[in-house]
Amino acid sequence: MKQMITVHPSKDLFTKTIDIPKKDIKSDTYSQIGSSMLEILRKKGGIGLSANQVGLPFNMCVVELTSSDPKIMLNPRVVKQSDKMVKSSEGCLSLPGATVVVNRHANVTVNYEDVTGETISLSANGLLSSCLQHEIDHLKGVLMINRVGEVHRSRALKAVYRYKKAKGYR
């Protein structure tokens, strides 16, 4: 797996990922991929990372709000969401230098398989809820800039451009 984060405007970021067959989940492959993704996430200082951000087509992500609670999530899906919406100020490792305010559901319940194949149901609010929605959006090929109006999208993309130019991205 590549150690670099895929950045905008890569088409990989806009491509929907593929579900991992239930029979394949228990293989060491996804546990190893998840561990590598957590390592990258920690190096980059993020709280969530989807497989398509590291060049993989799989419907999986990692989330780690605190070092004591890392999650490797395979085939995550929102199964319940509150009607109440909240404003979430978000950044993204694939949109370096940009921050936007996105409307997110205040509470969500996400089902996913862990690396042992067990189905987990996770109810979340606050930062965890926003993070889960952000990562699941990634897995569907949706970026945070797709959830804001044209003015905010334009500002965010200009911030990414300035950041990439300052850091010598190609």
Q: Is 131 exposed, middle or buried (0-12, 13-18, 19+ CB in 10 A)?
A: buried
Assess whether 39 carries a catalytic annotation.
Answer: no
Active-site residue (options: 64, 90, 113, 135)? 135
Largest CA distance in the chain: 46
Average pLDDT score over the chain:
96
* Interacting residues of 152 by C-beta distance below 8 A, sequence separation 6+: 100, 101, 145
Mean pLDDT, residues 12-17 taken together:
97
- Third-level CATH fold of 11-80+104-144: Peptide Deformylase (3.90.45)
- Round to whole Å and give the CA distance between 74 and 83: 26
Domain spans in the chain, listed from the N-terminal domain onward: 11-80+104-144
Give 82's pLDDT tier (boundaries 50, 70, 90).
very high
Task: Report pLDDT digits (tens) over 119-139.
Answer: 999 999 999 999 999 999 999
**The pLDDT of residue 2 is above 70:** no
Mean pLDDT, residues 136-144 taken together:
98
- Determine the distance from the C-alpha atom of residue 113 to the mean position of all C-alpha atoms in its chain, rounded to a whole number: 16
Mean pLDDT, residues 38-57 taken together:
97
Angle at 113 between CA 112 and CA 117, to 5 degrees: 165
Q: List strands edge to edge, sheet with 48-50.
A: 48-50, 60-63, 71-81, 107-113, 119-125
